[in-house]
């Protein structure tokens, strides 16, 4: 094959979401809009790329996400560089969106808005991870964040309740919610030091990644999945025994608040998360049947992040759902929602029928139905065959007889039931059918 005839393929770790899956994605995201808006969250649309430094400072320069997985590029033109100022040397595709939400919150002075600022976002994120089932280099998140003056555990509980309610509505069942508290700036440093000391004692028994993390980020050792490290990790000191009074109370109250809302959870002292901005509450949702990439959501509290990025003292909490994985989990469960699809295929025949076909198609579409109108005349049998293949619910037959009689023949393709209807009755019948399938 010559070079200019070669076929292009999606880049490793990226993929196309094709119909009919795209309809499931739309429905999933729409369900999130509906549930989140019912909790009085509002959508924020964010840039896909930001200054590299924004992510480095918030997620943490030593984390895998920042140190190994970002897609980073420099500004191409000198003129741009001048305009952006010397600080903006490099940009990165966003690996997550919490940093952007906090940047937008500060930049737009959102702390002056009444009450807590409750935002959600939907869109692609980019991490150069090793692709596998459920792990992509371009993947999608639906996230929510609450920013404001209060760190009341009821806020954490409401955010988590909203998340689990959404999963229920979207059919992401067979899930487990894990919660933990990783302390705050008063108690965590001492715990991290203690952990480091204990880890140094057993360093020889740990793998190279964990050994490195003893110095860079000992908490991350708790996240290790290596089977040979598990018995060692189980004997390490637990954060729950080293929380300060305030953090202990916060965590106890969170569990009480979750209980009050009927949101079941399990405590997991090893849930430390892979991003540095967390304080106190951390949580994750695991779904069955996804193999090793089974975390469908991660989140937590980040009370110092707004200040760290140059804003006023502000508390924050949020989560991000991995849409790719959540959708996989719905598909694996086999319980797909009934989505409307193609309602009517207009099987017209003879040029005399064509104007009627164009007209009724417009009216049906205006009534909210999905309608396919063949652009060229087709033989009757071929037309009905195509209607079947396209999985239309009805074929609307318009031939010379129908035009003469001023009526339509509506054939239900599932059972070949056929009715002759006037235009008025046809519209009424199909509209009521549409209401029923959406109900």
- Choose one: 191-199, 225-233, 298-306, 362-370; the region binding ligand HAM (CB under 6 A): 298-306
Contact between 98 and ligand HAM per CB under 6 A: yes
242 C-beta neighbours (distance < 10 Å), count? 17
Contact between 60 and ligand HAM per CB under 6 A: no
Nearest C-alpha neighbor of 340 from the set 205, 430, 230: 430
Given a contact cutoff of 8 angstroms between Cβ atoms, the answer to whether 240 and 269 are in contact is: yes
* Complex with ligand HAM: residue 127 or 393, whichever CB lies closer: 127
Supply the minimum distance, in Å, between the C-beta of residue 106 and ligand HAM. 16
Residue 278 CA to residue 320 CA, distance in Å, equals: 14
* Complex with ligand HAM: residue 28 or 394, whichever CB lies closer: 28
- Choose one: 148-156, 195-203, 312-320, 380-388; the region binding ligand HAM (CB under 6 A): 312-320
Supply the minimum distance, in Å, between the C-beta of residue 249 and ligand HAM. 22
Work out the angle at residue 146's Cα, subtended by the Cα atoms of residues 250 and 288, and round it to the nearest 5 degrees.
75
- Cβ-Cβ contacts under 8 Å for 360 (sequence gap 6 or more): 346, 396, 398, 408, 423, 426
Residue 21 CA to residue 47 CA, distance in Å, equals: 26
* Complex with ligand HAM: residue 320 or 369, whichever CB lies closer: 320
* Complex with ligand HAM: residue 140 or 408, whichever CB lies closer: 140
Contact between 392 and ligand HAM per CB under 6 A: no
Nearest position to ligand HAM, beta carbon: 322
Supply the minimum distance, in Å, between the C-beta of residue 321 and ligand HAM. 6
Contact between 148 and ligand HAM per CB under 6 A: no
Contact between 324 and ligand HAM per CB under 6 A: yes
* Complex with ligand HAM: residue 127 or 434, whichever CB lies closer: 127
Q: How would you classify the pairing of strands 344-348 and 371-372?
A: parallel
Residue 164 CA to residue 161 CA, distance in Å, equals: 5
Among 51, 129, 198, 431, binds ligand HAM (CB under 6 A): 129
Identify the three-state secondary structure at position 372: strand
The tally of CA atoms less than 13 A away on the side-chain side of residue 120 is: 25
**Buried/exposed code over 410-426 (b: 16+ C-beta within 10 A; e: otherwise):** bbebeeeeeeebeeeeb
Contact between 127 and ligand HAM per CB under 6 A: yes
* Complex with ligand HAM: residue 111 or 407, whichever CB lies closer: 111
Supply the minimum distance, in Å, between the C-beta of residue 293 and ligand HAM. 7
Nearest C-alpha neighbor of 332 from the set 176, 164, 172: 172
Binding site for ligand HAM (CB under 6 A): 96, 98, 127, 129, 134-136, 139, 141, 143, 145, 274-275, 295-300, 302, 318-320, 322, 324-325
């Amino acid at each position: 094959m010559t070079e200019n005839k070669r076929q292009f393929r999606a880049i490793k770790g990226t993929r196309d979401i094709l119909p009919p899956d795209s309809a499931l994605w739309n429905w999933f995201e729409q369900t999130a809009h509906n549930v989140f808006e019912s909790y009085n969250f509002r959508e924020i649309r964010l840039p896909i790329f930001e200054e590299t430094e924004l992510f480095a400072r918030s997620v943490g320069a030593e984390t895998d996400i920042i140190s190994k997985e970002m897609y980073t590029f420099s500004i191409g033109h000198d003129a741009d560089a001048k305009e952006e100022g010397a600080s903006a040397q490099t940009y990165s595709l966003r690996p997550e969106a919490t940093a952007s939400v906090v940047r937008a919150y500060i930049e737009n002075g959102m702390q002056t808005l009444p009450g807590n600022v409750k935002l959600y976002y939907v869109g692609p994120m980019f991490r150069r991870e090793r692709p596998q089932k459920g792990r992509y280099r371009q993947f999608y998140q639906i996230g929510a964040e609450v920013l404001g003056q209060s760190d009341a555990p009821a806020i954490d509980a409401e955010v988590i309740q909203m998340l689990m309610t959404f999963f229920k509505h979207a059919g992401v069942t067979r899930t487990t919610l894990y919660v933990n508290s990783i302390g705050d700036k008063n108690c965590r440093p001492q715990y991290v030091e203690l952990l480091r000391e204990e880890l140094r004692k057993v360093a020889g028994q740990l793998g190279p990644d964990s050994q490195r993390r003893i110095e860079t980020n000992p908490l991350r050792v708790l996240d290790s999945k290596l089977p040979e490290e598990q018995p060692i990790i189980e004997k390490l000191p637990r954060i729950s025994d080293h929380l300060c009074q305030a953090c202990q109370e916060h965590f106890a109250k969170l569990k009480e608040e979750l209980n009050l809302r009927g949101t079941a959870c399990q405590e997991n002292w090893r849930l430390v998360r892979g991003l540095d901005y967390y304080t106190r509450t951390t949580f994750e949702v695991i779904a069955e049947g996804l193999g090793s990439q089974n975390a469908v959501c991660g989140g937590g509290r980040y009370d110092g992040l707004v200040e760290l990025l140059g804003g006023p003292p502000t508390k924050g909490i949020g989560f991000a759902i991995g849409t790719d994985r959540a959708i996989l989990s719905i598909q694996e469960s086999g319980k797909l929602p009934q989505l409307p699809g193609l309602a009517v295929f207009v099987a017209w025949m003879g040029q005399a029928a064509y104007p009627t076909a164009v007209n009724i198609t417009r009216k049906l579409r205006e009534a909210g139905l999905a309608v396919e109108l063949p652009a060229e005349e087709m033989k009757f049998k071929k037309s009905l065959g195509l209607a079947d293949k396209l999985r239309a619910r009805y074929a609307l037959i318009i031939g010379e007889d129908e035009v003469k009689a001023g009526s339509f023949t509506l054939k239900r393709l599932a059972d070949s039931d056929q009715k002759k209807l006037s235009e008025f009755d046809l519209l009424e019948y199909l509209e009521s059918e549409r209401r029923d399938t959406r109900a």
